[in-house]
C-alpha cells in the first residue's frame, strides 16, 4: 500500500484496484447530491409528522401547554417563564386551525421534522453518504418523538442547536466563513426559544479560544457578523428582559433551586443512558471520531462543553438532548467509512446489510420503548394506561382539566345569588388558571386570576372581588388571608389518576373578604412556577 493525501486527509491506496480505505473517521467532502439528500431526509422525517397527526389529540392538554396556550392569547416579546417563540407558534396554530390539542401540537411536530432533516445534513457535512445521513436521522428519531409529543420550548431549542451546529460544521468543512451568520441565526433563535442555548454557545467560544488552530476565526469579519446576527435576532427579547428587570432569570433561579431541593436534578448521567438507549454506542463512537479529527475537533465542544457545564450546574438530564444528533452523525459516518473500507473483502455486502438491519432493528425497538412510556397511545383504563399514569408524571398531567373546571363551575353554582355578582376564580398554579381560562367560558366562568408567572402581571381583574373560588390551594393556608374559607368541592380525576391537582391540593375553596386591601396582598404575592 502507499500513502496519499486527499483534501487534507490521509488515505491508503491498496494495490488491489482503485478502492481506498479511509483511515480518518470523518471525511472532508460530501459525496452525494444535496438536493436528493434533502428530499430523502424530508420524506423520512415526514413519518414524525404523520405519527403526531394520528396521536396528536393525546389525553388532553398538558399542564405546561395550558400556560403556553394562555400566553399565546397575550403575545409579547418575552414571558416570565420562557422566551416568546413557543407561544408565538401556538398563536399561529390557533389562528389557522382553532383550539384543539392536535392543532396546538402540530408546530412542535413540524419543527422536530425539520430538526431531523438538519441532523441528517450534519452527517453530510462530516462527509457521510446517504446511509450515514439516514442512520443519523433514525438514531435521532426517538429523541424527536419524545420532545415533540408536547408543545414545549425544548422542541424549538433543538432546532436552534441544530442550526448552530450545522452552520459551524459547514464553516469547518468548506472554510466558508459566511456561514458564521447561520450560526448566529441559530444562537438568536435559541434566545427566542430557550436560554439553554448559552451552553453550546459558551462551549463553542471556549473551543475556539482553547484550540490554536481555530483562533483564526476570531479575526474573521464574518464571525463578528454572525455575532451581530445573533444580537439582532435576539434583541426584542433582550430588550423585554431589560425592561422587566431580567425577571426570567429570577424565575429560573427559583425553579432550579426547587428542582435541586426535591431531587429533580438527580440522575443527570444515568439520564443520558436512558435517553439514548441503543444510540449510546454511536454517541460514544461519534464523540471519539470528532476528537480524533483535526478538521472537526472543534465540533466536540458542542457535546463536551454542555455536558460538563450542565453537570456542574445540576441541570436536568433532558437539557442535553439537542447535543446528540451531532455525535450520532459522527458515529454514523464513522461506521459507514469503516464498512466502506472493507468493500474489497469477501462477503462485504452481507456484512453491510447485516449491520444496517441491526441498526434499524435497534432503532425500532427504541421507538417502541419510547412510545410505550411517553406517547398517548393507550386506551384510558387499560393496563398500559395505568402503567403510564404511575410512571410518567407528564402524561398524568394531561388528564382531568375539563373535569376540574366542571367542579369549579359547580362550586360557583353553589354560591348565593348575591355573591355571584362580585366573585372571581383564582388559580394557585398556572395549570389550574390556564384550564379555567380555556374551559371556563363553556360554563360562564370569568377570566381567572393568578399570582404565578405572567398571570400576576395581568392583575386581579376589573374589580376587587369580595368572594373567591380558589382551585389549587389549601384550606389551612388560604384561611390566613380571608375572613372565612370553606371547602366547596373536591377535584375528582377520571380513572382515579393521581397528579398534582388530585393529590397535593384537591380542595376547591370558597373564601370571603380579604383581611387586607387587594393592592397590598397582590403586591407581595408574586409566585413562580
The CA-CA-CA angle for residues 133, 137, 139, to 5°, reads: 115
The whole-number pLDDT of residue 22 equals 37
For residue 194, pLDDT beyond 90: yes
- Whole-number Å distance between alpha carbons of 361 and 212: 42
* 21-22 sheet: strands from edge to edge: 2-6, 9-13, 21-22
Mean pLDDT value of segment 311-322: 91
Closest among 120, 21, 34 to 337, alpha carbons compared: 21
CA distances from 16 to 13, 19, 345 (A): 8, 8, 11
The 10 Å Cβ neighbour count of residue 354 is 11
- Whole-number Å distance between alpha carbons of 29 and 48: 29
The whole-number pLDDT of residue 345 equals 59
Instruction: Locate the domains of the chain by residue range.
Output: 2-374, 401-523
The whole-number pLDDT of residue 529 equals 85
The whole-number pLDDT of residue 14 equals 38
* pLDDT tier at 404, thresholds 50, 70, 90: very high
For residue 47, pLDDT beyond 90: no
* pLDDT tier at 54, thresholds 50, 70, 90: confident
Contact between 407 and 490 under an 8 Å Cβ cutoff? The reply is: yes
How much of the chain, in percent, has pLDDT values that exceed 70?
Answer: 93
For residue 228, pLDDT beyond 60: yes
* pLDDT tier at 265, thresholds 50, 70, 90: confident
3-class state of residue 7 by DSSP: coil
The whole-number pLDDT of residue 344 equals 56
Between 26 and 401, the higher pLDDT residue: 401
* pLDDT tier at 372, thresholds 50, 70, 90: confident
For residue 1, pLDDT beyond 60: no
* pLDDT tier at 370, thresholds 50, 70, 90: confident
Q: Buried (b) or exposed (e) across 227-265, using 16+ Cβ within 10 A?
A: bebbeebbebbbebbeebeebbeebbeeebeeeeeeeeb
The whole-number pLDDT of residue 375 equals 84
Name the region of 172 (left: φ>0; alpha: ψ -120 to 50; beta: rest). alpha
User: What mean pLDDT is reported for the chain?
Assistant: 89
The whole-number pLDDT of residue 11 equals 40
The whole-number pLDDT of residue 16 equals 31
Contact between 487 and 477 under an 8 Å Cβ cutoff? The reply is: no
Closest among 249, 337, 211, 224 to 285, alpha carbons compared: 337
Handedness of CA 347, 348, 351, 353 (dihedral sign): negative
Mean pLDDT value of segment 300-313: 96
* List of E strands, 442-500: 467-471, 482-490
Question: How does DSSP assign 284-323, residue by residue?
Answer: HHHHHHHHH-TTTGGGGHHHHHHHHHHHHHT--GGGGGGG
Mean pLDDT value of segment 34-58: 85
Q: Give the position of cell 483535526.
A: 294
What contacts 251, CB < 8 A, 6 or more positions away?
80, 81, 453, 528
Amino acid at each position: 500500500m502507499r500513502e496519499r493525501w486527499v483534501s487534507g486527509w490521509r488515505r491508503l491506496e491498496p494495490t488491489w484496484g482503485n478502492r481506498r480505505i479511509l483511515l480518518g473517521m470523518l471525511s472532508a467532502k460530501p459525496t452525494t447530491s444535496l438536493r436528493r439528500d434533502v428530499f430523502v431526509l424530508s420524506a423520512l422525517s415526514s413519518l414524525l409528522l404523520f405519527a403526531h397527526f394520528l396521536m396528536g389529540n393525546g389525553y388532553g392538554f398538558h399542564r405546561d401547554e395550558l400556560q403556553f396556550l394562555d400566553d399565546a392569547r397575550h403575545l409579547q416579546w418575552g414571558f416570565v417563564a420562557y422566551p416568546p417563540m413557543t407561544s408565538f407558534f401556538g398563536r399561529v396554530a390557533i389562528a389557522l386551525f382553532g383550539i384543539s390539542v392536535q392543532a396546538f401540537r402540530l408546530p412542535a411536530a413540524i419543527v422536530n421534522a425539520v430538526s431531523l432533516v438538519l441532523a441528517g445534513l450534519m452527517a453530510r457535512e462530516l462527509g457521510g453518504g446517504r446511509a450515514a445521513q439516514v442512520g443519523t436521522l433514525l438514531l435521532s428519531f426517538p429523541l424527536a418523538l419524545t420532545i415533540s409529543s408536547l408543545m414545549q420550548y425544548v422542541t424549538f431549542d433543538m432546532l436552534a442547536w441544530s442550526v448552530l451546529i450545522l452552520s459551524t460544521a459547514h464553516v469547518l468543512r468548506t472554510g466558508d466563513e459566511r456561514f458564521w451568520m447561520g450560526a448566529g441565526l441559530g444562537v438568536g433563535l435559541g434566545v427566542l426559544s430557550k436560554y439553554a442555548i448559552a451552553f453550546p454557545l459558551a462551549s463553542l467560544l471556549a473551543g475556539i479560544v482553547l484550540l490554536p488552530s481555530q483562533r483564526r476565526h476570531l479575526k474573521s469579519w464574518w464571525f463578528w457578523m454572525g455575532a451581530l446576527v445573533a444580537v439582532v435576532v435576539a434583541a426584542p427579547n433582550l430588550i423585554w428582559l431589560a425592561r422587566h428587570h431580567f425577571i426570567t432569570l429570577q424565575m429560573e433561579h427559583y425553579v432550579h433551586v426547587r428542582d435541586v431541593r426535591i431531587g429533580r436534578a438527580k440522575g443527570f448521567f444515568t439520564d443520558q443512558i436512558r435517553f439514548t438507549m441503543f444510540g449510546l454506542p454511536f454517541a460514544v463512537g461519534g464523540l471519539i471520531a470528532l476528537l480524533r479529527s483535526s478538521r472537526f475537533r472543534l465540533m466536540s465542544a458542542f457535546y463536551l462543553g454542555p455536558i460538563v457545564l450542565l453537570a456542574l450546574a445540576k441541570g436536568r438530564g433532558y437539557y442535553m438532548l439537542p447535543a446528540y444528533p451531532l455525535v450520532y452523525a459522527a458515529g454514523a459516518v464513522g461506521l459507514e467509512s469503516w464498512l466502506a473500507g472493507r468493500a474489497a473483502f469477501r462477503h462485504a455486502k452481507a456484512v453491510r446489510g447485516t449491520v444496517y438491519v441491526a441498526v434499524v432493528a435497534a432503532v425500532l425497538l427504541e421507538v417502541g420503548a419510547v412510545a410505550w412510556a411517553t406517547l398517548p397511545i393507550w386506551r384510558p383504563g387499560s393496563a398500559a394506561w395505568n402503567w403510564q399514569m404511575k410512571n410518567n408524571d407528564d402524561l398524568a398531567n394531561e388528564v382531568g382539566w375539563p373535569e376540574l373546571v366542571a367542579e369549579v363551575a359547580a362550586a360557583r353554582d353553589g354560591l348565593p345569588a348575591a355573591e355571584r355578582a362580585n366573585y372571581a376564580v383564582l388559580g394557585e398554579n398556572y395549570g389550574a388558571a390556564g384550564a379555567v381560562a380555556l374551559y371556563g367560558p363553556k360554563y360562564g366562568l370569568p377570566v381567572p386570576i393568578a399570582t404565578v408567572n405572567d398571570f400576576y402581571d395581568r392583575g386581579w381583574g376589573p374589580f376587587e372581588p369580595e368572594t373567591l373560588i380558589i382551585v389549587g390551594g389549601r384550606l389551612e393556608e388560604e384561611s390566613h388571608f380571608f375572613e372565612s374559607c370553606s371547602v366547596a368541592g373536591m377535584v375528582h380525576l377520571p380513572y382515579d389518576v393521581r397528579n398534582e391537582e388530585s393529590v397535593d391540593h384537591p380542595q376547591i375553596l370558597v373564601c370571603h373578604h380579604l383581611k387586607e386591601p387587594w393592592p397590598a396582598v397582590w403586591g407581595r404575592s408574586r409566585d413562580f412556577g
